[in-house]
Structure 1
Amino acid sequence: MPIPAPNLYPAFNIIRLSHVVFGVTDLAKSRHFYVDTLGLQVTDEDDSRIYLRAMEERGHHCIVLEKSDSATVKSLSLKVFDEGELDKAHDWFKEHGHPVEWVERPYQGRTLRTTDCFDVPIELYFKMDRLSPIHQQYALYKGVKPLRIDHFNLFSPDVDKSVDFYNQLGFRVTEYTEDEESGKLWAAWTHRKGGVHDMAFTNGQGPRLHHTAFWVPTPLNIIDLCDLMATTGYVSNIERGPGRHGISNAFFLYILDPDGHRIEIYCSDYQTVDPDLEAIKWDLKDPQRQTLWGAPAPRSWFEHGSLFEGLEPVESQLKATPIVAP
């Protein structure tokens, strides 16, 4: 199935991904991981939630850690261009049969809660409390020196369906992997903000969240994090990498938080602003698509993901086999 033609004039204007709400079972352990090890900044916290931002971000939060009985993903959030776009989004989702609800969220203005084509909980907003810049407060930099949240990657039971849905929202495909035998998509990378992706979709039991990614200044920051994690009790939390992806050209490291939520540390992809930028196609059997260099991905990377709260994943339709480390 060919990728859809880019939808350059969607019904409403999403500008980028914004934040994720993780259900975590131990706030103290999660705080140590995200703050003391990765280097995210606490913007507020109480006995039930911790709000975090990265060093370049002016919005109040990019991750919310919420005390929960089980490790789940409670929502993925997207920022729209202005207040009027929220009303357009409300009407579009309602017209297309998706549940819509205006919800109250701390530190945010009007927030629309809805779902995507696989019932993934999506929240859209325009206004979030703005904080003073800290990107030049170098005494605050620690851990991997995370600059900003970069993207989400989701396991999808039908990548073609996911790509078609998000294309309706204006997400443009930058790169994709196709199974030559079936002609179906194995994976696709789609964006709004002009990088390789805001939302990516990987074939697998889903919907589940594969990972949330953070952009860092250089590959050396990733090496520093490996040294730090290896000597502070987190060596077993390093799942894959460091290495370089063929797709996106990014330098990467995949790690797991104390609850198993996967985080990618990421840098050096490329600009995709041009509206007529051609998507790059990769063959599923090409070993350099997922790893330009570095060790192949372990089996866990293809099988483990975070559950969305209240959703039961289903098996994927495409049964092609990726390249797995022995």
Structure 2
Amino acid sequence: MPVPAPNLYPDFNTIRLSHVCLNVKDLAASRKFYTDILGLQVTDEDDSRIYLRAMEERGHHCVILQKSDQPGTVEVMGFKTFDEDDLDRAEAYFKAKGRPTEWVERPYQGRTLLTSDNIGIPLEFYHKMDRLAPIHQKYALYRGVKPLRIDHFNCFTHDVDASVAFYSDFGFRVTEYTEDEDSKKLWAAWLHRKGGVHDMAFTNGTGPRMHHVAFWVPTPLNIIDLLDLMSTTGYVSNIERGPGRHGISNAFFLYVLDPDGHRIEIYCSDYQTVDPDLEPIKWDLKDPQRQTLWGAPAPESWFKHGTTFAGVETKDSALAASPIIAP
């Protein structure tokens, strides 16, 4: 079926994705991976949480590592609104959709609305986050893959059409999508708010689960440097897929797993999508260049492995269509 038309005047204004809270088993092991290997900067830490930001970010954090008795799960995904009044409009919107709403206290954030989407993904919206001094020109701090900013989330959903319709209604715009030619159902879709290819993407499968969180890096050479670093510091088995160039998004990519199995994408070279009337690009599920422009198929783990959201039940997809999978 066709993707829904974008709602250019939504009930509230979401600017972009902001942060994710990942539940982990061993804070020290996770800290080493995210700082020494990936290169994120610690902005605060205690016995239960570590707050991290990337090099171009002025907000206090884009990742929270939280010690948990449910390691390998995701606590919440965060988004920033245009202004403070948007939070009240968001509360009314999600209530009208029958979703739970709650005002929660979050360190380093102002008023924060906790809710969930149509399949149960926990979402929080805020407007104010503590601002930190810029560090993008402090080149002595750059290490690992030199991450500049958080870029997007990708989640498994049991019903891509329903997820796309839900997010389109509050202002997300589809840039690219994959359609199963037999059923005419969506198999995957990429939606944005900030003017890149996506802030949120959905992939068909057992959901809700997080497929990956992605970070933008300066060049493909940074990805090559990361591969060299991981392969010589005990993390070669954490490399899952890539490097390569996606057909969808045109981005250069690498997928790795953190110590708790959370999938991280390192990402660069996609394109601008600011125009509100930009037509989405359609891909066939069986097109080998959809996954990788060079034609290399993804491994089976890439379609099956994901991390659940803490306390959220999953549901299997009824869509039996399958992409091309590496032998």
Interval of TM-score (by shorter of Structure 1 and Structure 2): over 0.9
Residue in 2 that maps onto 1:187? 188
SS for the counterpart of 1:288 is: helix
Provide the residue aligned with 2:137 in structure 1: 136
Residue aligning to 2:318: 317
Report deviation, 1:285.
0.7
Q: Deviations over 1:219-243 (max 9, x none)?
A: 0000000000000000000000000
Alpha-carbon distance between aligned partners in 2 of 1:200 and 1:264, rounded to the nearest angstrom: 13
Helix, strand or coil: the match of 1:112?
A: strand
> Which amino acid in the other structure matches residue 19 of structure 1?
H
2:81 counterpart residue number:
80
Query: Map of 1:8-23 to 2, 5 A cutoff?
Result: 8-23=8-23
The answer on 1:250 being equivalent to 2:251 is yes
Letter in 1 for 2:278: L
Contact 1:222 1:265 in 2 (8 A): yes
Q: Contact between 1:23 and 1:73, CA under 8 Å: does it hold in 2?
A: yes
Cα distance between partner residues in 2 of 1:247 and 1:110:
36
Give the letter aligned to residue 171 of structure 1: F
Q: Specify whether residues 261 and 48 from structure 1 end up closer, same or farther in structure 2 by C-alpha distance, changes over 3 A only.
A: same
CA-CA distance at 1:294 after TM superposition: 6.2
1:219-298 matches, cutoff 5 A: 219-293=220-294, 295-298=296-299
Q: Structure 1: any 5+ residue segments left out of the alignment?
A: none
CA contact (8 A) 2:288 2:296 kept: no
Q: Which runs of 5+ in 2 are unaligned?
A: none
Structure 1 segments, 4+ long, off by >3 Å, are none
Name the CA distance, whole Å, in 2 between partners of 1:95 and 1:286: 40
SS of structure 1 residue aligned to 2:7: coil
SS at match of 1:5: coil
Q: Secondary structure at the match of 2:288?
A: coil
Q: Which residue of 1 aligns with 2:5?
A: 5
Q: Contact between 1:74 and 1:309, CA under 8 Å: does it hold in 2?
A: yes
Partner of 2:66: 66
**Where does residue 30 of structure 1 map in the other structure?**
30
Partner of 1:157: 158
TM-superposition CA deviations, 1:73-95 (whole Å, max 9, x none): 00000000000000100111111
Amino acid at match of 2:304: E
Q: Letter of the 1:43 partner, please give it.
A: T
Q: Give, as a single letter, the amino acid of the residue that structure 1 aligns with 2:219.
A: T
Pairwise CA RMSD: 0.6
Deviation for aligned residue 1:317: 1.8
Question: Which stretch of the first structure deviates more once superposed, 260-269 or 291-300?
Answer: 291-300
Q: Which amino acid aligns with 1:109?
A: G
One-letter code aligned to 1:292: L
Distance between the aligned counterparts of 1:260 and 1:23, measured in 2? 10
Q: How many residues align?
A: 326
